[in-house]
Amino acid sequence: MVFRDRTSLFLRLRGEARAYDAARRVATQKQQRQRSALRVGGHEYSAVSQGQGSRRDHHDAHNDDFLIEMDSLESDGRSGSGGDPLDSTGDAAPEWVRTCDELRADMSHVREQIAQLQALHNVHLLPGFGEEDKLIEEENINQLAGEITRSLRTSEQKVKRLGGLYLAPNSSGRSDVVDGHAPASDDERASRAILESVQKSFGAQLQVLSMQFRTAQKEYLKQLQGQKAVLGIGVDAEEQERALRHTQTVFLDDTSTQFRETDFVTVQAVEHDTGEEYVQQRAREIDKVVHSINDLAYLMKDLSNLVEVQGTILDRVDYNVLAVRESTQNAVKELRRAERHHRKRHGVSCIICLTLACGVMALILVFKWLF
Amino acid sequence: MAHHDSVRNALRTLIRGAPGLKALVVDRDTAATLGLVEPYSQLMSEEVCHVEVLVAQPAGARQLLHLHAIVLVRPTEQNVALLCAELAAPRFRDYQLCFANVLRRLAVEQLAEADVHERVVSLRESFLDFLPLRKSLVSLGDPLGSLDRAVDGVLALMVMRRRIPQVRYDRNSAACRNLAERLAVKFDQESSLFQDGTSDAMNAGTGIVGSRAPLLLILDRVEDPVTPLLNQWTYEAMIHELLGIQNNTVSLKGSMDVKDEFEQVVLDAESDEFFARNMFSNFGDLGANLKELVDNFSSQRPDAQGHVRDLDDMLRLVEELPEFRRSSSNVTKHVLLTSELSRRVDSGSLLRVSQLEQDLACRESEAEHRKQVLQICSAPGIALKDKVRVVLLFALRYEQSPTCNLSELKIALQRAAAGSASEDVAFVDLVSGIRRYAGAAKRHGDVFSNRSFLAKAATSMRRGIHGIENIYTQHEPLLAQTLDDLLRARLSYETYPVIYEGSGGALHASGSFSGASAQTLGSARGAALSGPPPRADAHTDRVVPRDIVVMMVGGCCYEEYRTVSGINGVAGAVMVESGHTASAAQVARSLQAHVVLASSHVLNSSMFLEQVRRVAQQ
């Protein structure tokens, strides 16, 4: 790779610079102490200036003093960088950082699981003879699909929580001129921007994953149906229904979960009603319609999150980074100009001038009349 | 080979090297490079959640201690000072410093001293100090053309291409010589950055042997002042000429009522397939292709396919919607651009002006041209700048002719200039200024092919026999001829001497040097010697480089980029079938040669006129 690494040189220079600093601090402290001792009245110490901060100081006879001072100095000198930097923040930052780490781990886990699921699909779709093996495979598939669904749902909730975490005066979590409430400070705005972009990036990754999962399930279903049609076996309604159910992954609000539960109940009730073949078939078709509507609803939700910016100016780093700066700079300039203008108070000075002029004219008139 | 991909890979490696949530600190130049190579959405998916420019932070700025910072800046003194201030009061958890070019040791010491809190994790140099506009076009974003920036940029480009090149330059030009000398010294100093390559030969079968050792050819804009003055009729060049392309973005702000999202558009050949196919098509073909695109697009619209019958259809429709929206914005962008271009062509009578320009550039006929130039100057409705351009072309071509009466033309221009904006009027003075910038005395090449009787005869014969396909694109830049000569090993070493042998051996002190400079450059330490030179029979075979980088001092044009693309074998880029580009392309194909064009900036006619004025005033 075309990098030239100068880290080792840098670290060595840094070490030398720090050692030099520490030694110099020792020397100046010692000098100060000596000076204060002199002032106190010990003129037995002739003014032996022990060199102005030269490194060779620590070779002289005051070695033990030096050592003690060195320790105390080190603890002083390190205070700037001391301890775990994270402790000093004290705001919501560590919490959402933890959420981010969890999300990352969850998503890589889900990715593995989806790969596993696809492998299981392929194995199951291979023609085989053992009925029990097939049943076991189906159980595994359904279990895994259920797990994936659950992980995706928790991840989506975490992503949603990220957005709501930064509760400023306006709870929408977006930029706030609309609310008529000026943003608290530049820093707050910056942090909110960071949170938004983090949320967007995780949301995008999650979306890709759930699309992957759904397409995998659909493919599997289609192939399964195709196979079973060829073999002349009627599709097992229950199996199909279970597979279809898992194609609806997650919804972000609660009304839809209720929807799904009623749906589940209807199907179960219908399934228990034996002998009514026609009714069963109709029920199955209604299920299909219902599932498609659910899919559609989910896709509509997808769309509201979609920001198709690829290939446009909004997707350019330099535009985003530099344009924002320039517009705020312009804003500052305008504000300053407005302030200057306001301060000049043109109107008042006009009034004063005119009044003076009227007064002067009146005086002239009076004198003219008098003489 | 492809520096474009190397830049992208380097950036990705850099970003992936840091764990967790990242912040990216850049400066204006590296932000431009980043913007060209990596889309913002891609950065966000790599968990870069904050991108900012390196500026002086006010005291007590908010700490972002949960972010790891990656700093990617140019190693200028100002940036180093700002970084020292930042490290003294660090805002991020840790810093990975990456400089876009070689960093001096003094700067490393300064940074080491400033890093009291020991937040810096690594310090690297990555050589991204140029703007990879297209696969074969590199710009440095420097309209003033400063020598230091050029040296840094070319060094970075060469490092990205991994090999030290052989350097040849135009002997007639002081600017080229300065750049070549500085580069030779720089290559020597930083030879550890390069790989030494094997020079395997490739026989083109016509007695020409291609060698892998790259060649850097330094040319001067002054040799060819004609190309930037011409009006262009191929899509990319035309947009730059009339609207101005800045780092692959075009601003449509002042033109007409455009929606906000289209005020600035991006022209990226990699993501935009229509643009990639039509970059070099002329205006007529472009219109036809655009109409086809629009027709295709409207037939794909969902309501054109009849009613949506059932939920499956609806599902499919909704799933395809993102793709549809993307292609819709793409089509809108091209329609807007083309309509703006055609509006300007009509309002400025550019067809008429351009016909005369191309004629002036390619044919010799003084009296006729003079009459036509005077007609254009007195015609209303043509912008003053276009009239100035036509007069300048006439002045350049017939400068040495005894009957050339420039004062008459100047008077006509001044009459036409009455009542125009003052900055345009200043261009009228250029008629005399152009001689100082690029007069016949300054050029040694034969950009009009009219210096010798043989050249004149050859051009008129070629025109007569082969005819002209399209009068608006009949001009070929001088670069085509130079590259043709180079690829056929006909480029004279007298006019284009070698200053540095590159991977082939030690410094070559050619005879054109004075003794003193030969002394300073005389150290025998070149790059490590590679394997034995290609097996070439010195009498019958000639060695030609297969990897050519052309550095144009003073700015290059999109028309020259089109020439280079034609030589590289891009379909549709060769406009003139019988010209130098076609013949060079043929040789390049048999040798598998590849040319890259680099320059300090990309010119259009307004920028060129401005540049001439600035130089003429000195």
- Interface predicted TM-score (ipTM) of this complex, two decimals: 0.78
Residue burial A42-78, b: 16+ Cβ < 10 Å; e: rest: eeeeeeeeeeeeeeebbeeeeeeebeebeeebeeeee
Q: Above 90 in pLDDT, residue A70?
A: no
The residue with tokens 């651009």 is B337
User: Residue B548 phi/psi, 5° resolution?
Assistant: -115, 130
Query: Amino acid identity, residue A102?
Result: E
CA pair distance B474, B465, nearest whole angstrom: 14
Contacts of B115 in chain A (CB under 8 A): 14, 17
Average pLDDT over residues B482-504: 85
Please name the residue of chain B whose CA is at the shortest distance from the CA of residue A203: B45
**Distance between alpha carbon A119 and the CA centroid of its chain, in Å?**
33
Contacts of A296 in chain B (CB under 8 A): 311, 314-315, 318
- Shared domain for B290 and B333, answered yes or no, is yes
Q: DSSP string of B163-177?
A: BPPEEEE-TT-HHHH
Average pLDDT over residues A2-22: 90
Name the pLDDT band for B524 (thresholds 50, 70, 90). Answer: very low
- CA-based nearest distance B568→chain A, Å: 26
Contacts of A293 in chain B (CB under 8 A): 311
Average pLDDT over residues B288-305: 81
Name the pLDDT band for A53 (thresholds 50, 70, 90). Answer: very low
pLDDT reported for residue A270: 57
Average pLDDT over residues A341-370: 90
Percent of chain B with pLDDT over 70: 87
Q: Above 50 in pLDDT, residue B35?
A: yes
A190: contact with B, CB 8 A cutoff: yes
pLDDT reported for residue A325: 61
CA pair distance A314, A309, nearest whole angstrom: 6
Q: Do B112 and A309 touch (CB under 8 A)?
A: no
Q: Above 50 in pLDDT, residue B332?
A: yes
Average pLDDT over residues B7-15: 90
Q: What tens digit of pLDDT does each residue of B256-295 get?
A: 777 777 888 888 888 888 999 999 998 999 999 999 999 9
Q: Do A7 and B35 touch (CB under 8 A)?
A: no
Q: Which of these ranges, B16-20, B255-259, B492-496, has the smallest mean pLDDT? A: B255-259
| B40 closest CB neighbour out of A16, A292, A317 | A317
With beta carbons less than 8 A apart as the criterion, state whether B232 and B280 touch: no
What residue numbers bound the domain in which B290 lies?
235-345
The CATH number covering residue B151 comes to 3.40.50.1910
Q: Do A204 and B41 touch (CB under 8 A)?
A: yes
Burial of B399 (0-12, 13-18, 19+ CB in 10 A): middle
pLDDT reported for residue A362: 96
Q: Above 80 in pLDDT, residue A243?
A: no
Contacts of A4 in chain B (CB under 8 A): 124-126, 193
- CA-based nearest distance A23→chain B, Å: 14
Tell me the range of A43-52, A196-205, A315-324, B408-417 where mean pLDDT is highest: B408-417
Q: Which of these ranges, B113-117, B190-194, B547-551, B555-559, has the smallest mean pLDDT? A: B190-194
A130: contact with B, CB 8 A cutoff: no
Contacts of B319 in chain A (CB under 8 A): 299
Query: Amino acid identity, residue A44?
Result: E
Segment (H or E) for B26: strand B22-26
For residue B557, being part of any structural domain is answered with yes
Sign of torsion over alpha carbons B367, B373, B377, B381: positive
- Shared domain for B161 and B118, answered yes or no, is no
CA pair distance A123, A115, nearest whole angstrom: 13
CA pair distance B187, B193, nearest whole angstrom: 9
For residue B468, being part of any structural domain is answered with no
Q: Do B124 and A3 touch (CB under 8 A)?
A: yes
CA pair distance B39, A319, nearest whole angstrom: 11
Q: DSSP string of B196-261?
A: P----EEE-SSSEEEESS-EEEEEEGGG--SGGGS---BHHHHHHHHT-EETTEEE-TTTS---GG
Contacts of B330 in chain A (CB under 8 A): 311
Of B319, B345, B371, the last residue of a domain is B345
pLDDT reported for residue A272: 61
Q: Above 50 in pLDDT, residue A176?
A: no
Q: B201-203 and B208-211 as β-strands: parallel, antiparallel, unpaired?
A: antiparallel
A168: contact with B, CB 8 A cutoff: no
Contacts of A326 in chain B (CB under 8 A): none
- Shared domain for B412 and B299, answered yes or no, is no
Q: Which residues pair with B545 in a beta bridge?
A: B211
Tokens for A25?
A: 């601090």
Please name the residue of chain B whose CA is at the shortest distance from the CA of residue A102: B20
The CATH number covering residue B279 comes to 3.90.830.10
A89: contact with B, CB 8 A cutoff: yes
Instruction: State the distance between the two ends of chain A, measured CA to CA, in whole angstroms.
Output: 101
- Shared domain for B292 and B325, answered yes or no, is yes
- CA-based nearest distance A126→chain B, Å: 28
- Shared domain for B433 and B356, answered yes or no, is yes
Tokens for B266?
A: 């991006």
Q: Above 60 in pLDDT, residue A29?
A: yes
- Shared domain for B103 and B208, answered yes or no, is no
Segment (H or E) for B16: helix B3-16
For residue B470, being part of any structural domain is answered with no
For the domain spanning A95-168+185-253+263-269+278-309, the CATH number is 1.20.58.70
Mutate to test the interface with A, among B14, B29, B41 (most CBs of A within 10 A): B41
| A81 closest CB neighbour out of B118, B315, B321 | B118
Q: Which of these ranges, A126-130, A212-216, B390-394, has the smallest mean pLDDT? A: A126-130
Please name the residue of chain B whose CA is at the shortest distance from the CA of residue A82: B117
Find all residues with CB under 8 Å of B562, minimum gap 6, and list them: B234, B236, B237, B279, B280, B573, B575
The tally of CA atoms less than 13 A away on the side-chain side of residue B494 is: 2
Q: What tens digit of pLDDT does each residue of B165-178 get?
A: 999 999 989 999 99
pLDDT reported for residue B567: 93
Burial of B434 (0-12, 13-18, 19+ CB in 10 A): buried
Contacts of B325 in chain A (CB under 8 A): 308
Please name the residue of chain B whose CA is at the shortest distance from the CA of residue A200: B44
Sign of torsion over alpha carbons B466, B467, B470, B471: positive
Sign of torsion over alpha carbons B51, B54, B55, B61: positive
- Shared domain for B121 and B159, answered yes or no, is no
Instruction: Considering only residues B521 and B493, tell me which one the structure prediction assigns the higher pLDDT.
Output: B493
CA pair distance B5, B139, nearest whole angstrom: 16
Q: Above 60 in pLDDT, residue A91?
A: no
Average pLDDT over residues B315-340: 83
Q: What is the 3-state secondary structure (H, E, C) of B120-134?
A: EEEEEECCCCCEEEE
Name the pLDDT band for A88 (thresholds 50, 70, 90). Answer: very low
Name the pLDDT band for B308 (thresholds 50, 70, 90). Answer: low
Tokens for A149?
A: 């669904």
Residue B139, SS3 per DSSP:
strand
Q: What is the 3-state secondary structure (H, E, C) of A104-130?
A: HHHHHHHHHHHHHHHHHHHHHHCCCCC
Of B95, B128, B161, the last residue of a domain is B128
For residue B469, being part of any structural domain is answered with no
Q: Above 80 in pLDDT, residue B412?
A: yes
Check residue B241 and give left, alpha or beta (phi > 0: left; psi -120 to 50: alpha): alpha
Average pLDDT over residues A258-281: 61
Contacts of A212 in chain B (CB under 8 A): none
Query: Amino acid identity, residue A76?
Result: D
pLDDT reported for residue B509: 36
Please name the residue of chain B whose CA is at the shortest distance from the CA of residue A95: B66
Radius of gyration, alpha carbons of chain A:
38
Q: Do B119 and A97 touch (CB under 8 A)?
A: no
Name the pLDDT band for A77 (thresholds 50, 70, 90). Answer: very low
CA pair distance B433, B423, nearest whole angstrom: 15
Average pLDDT over chain A reads 70
Name the pLDDT band for A57 (thresholds 50, 70, 90). Answer: very low
| B40 closest CB neighbour out of A93, A296, A315 | A315
- Shared domain for B61 and B90, answered yes or no, is yes
Instruction: Considering only residues B122 and B437, tell me which one the structure prediction assigns the higher pLDDT.
Output: B122
The neighbour count for residue A258, using CB atoms within 10 Å, is 9
Q: Above 70 in pLDDT, residue A64?
A: no
| B93 closest CB neighbour out of A80, A85, A316 | A85
For residue B38, being part of any structural domain is answered with yes
Residues 308-347 of chain A with CB under 8 A from chain B are: 308-322, 325
Q: What tens digit of pLDDT does each residue of B144-168 get?
A: 889 999 999 999 999 988 888 999 9
What CA–CA distances, in Å, run from B500 to B148, B372, B386, B505? 19, 48, 42, 9
CA pair distance B12, B45, nearest whole angstrom: 12
- Shared domain for B142 and B119, answered yes or no, is no
pLDDT reported for residue B466: 77
Average pLDDT over residues B390-402: 87
With beta carbons less than 8 A apart as the criterion, state whether B191 and B527 touch: yes
Q: Above 60 in pLDDT, residue B505?
A: no
Instruction: Considering only residues A25 and A57, tell me which one the structure prediction assigns the higher pLDDT.
Output: A25
Segment (H or E) for B95: strand B92-99
Q: Which of these ranges, A114-128, A161-175, B294-308, B529-543, has the smallest mean pLDDT? A: B529-543
Q: Which of these ranges, A75-89, B505-519, B543-557, has the smallest mean pLDDT? A: B505-519
Mutate to test the interface with A, among B65, B160, B248 (most CBs of A within 10 A): B65
- CA-based nearest distance A56→chain B, Å: 20
Contacts of B189 in chain A (CB under 8 A): none
pLDDT reported for residue B530: 36
pLDDT reported for residue B529: 35
For residue B315, being part of any structural domain is answered with yes
Average pLDDT over chain B reads 83
CA pair distance B271, B251, nearest whole angstrom: 19
Average pLDDT over residues A2-21: 90
CA pair distance B603, B240, nearest whole angstrom: 8
Within A90-236, residue ranges assigned H as helices are 93-125, 131-165, 186-231
The domain limits of chain A are 95-168+185-253+263-269+278-309, 314-345
Name the pLDDT band for B309 (thresholds 50, 70, 90). Answer: low
The H helix count followed by the E strand count for chain A is 10, 1
Name the pLDDT band for A236 (thresholds 50, 70, 90). Answer: low
Q: What tens digit of pLDDT does each residue of B205-235 get?
A: 556 677 778 899 999 999 999 999 999 999 9
Q: Which of these ranges, A222-226, B188-192, B253-257, B268-272, has the smallest mean pLDDT? A: B253-257
- Shared domain for B123 and B187, answered yes or no, is no
Average pLDDT over residues B452-465: 79
- Shared domain for B413 and B458, answered yes or no, is yes
Q: Do B45 and A18 touch (CB under 8 A)?
A: no
- Shared domain for B242 and B323, answered yes or no, is yes
Give me the total of CB pairs closer than 8 Å, taking one residue from chain A and one from chain B.
198
Mutate to test the interface with A, among B13, B42, B96, B116 (most CBs of A within 10 A): B116
Q: In chain B, how many domains are there?
A: 4
Tokens for A170?
A: 């306006």
Radius of gyration, alpha carbons of chain B:
27
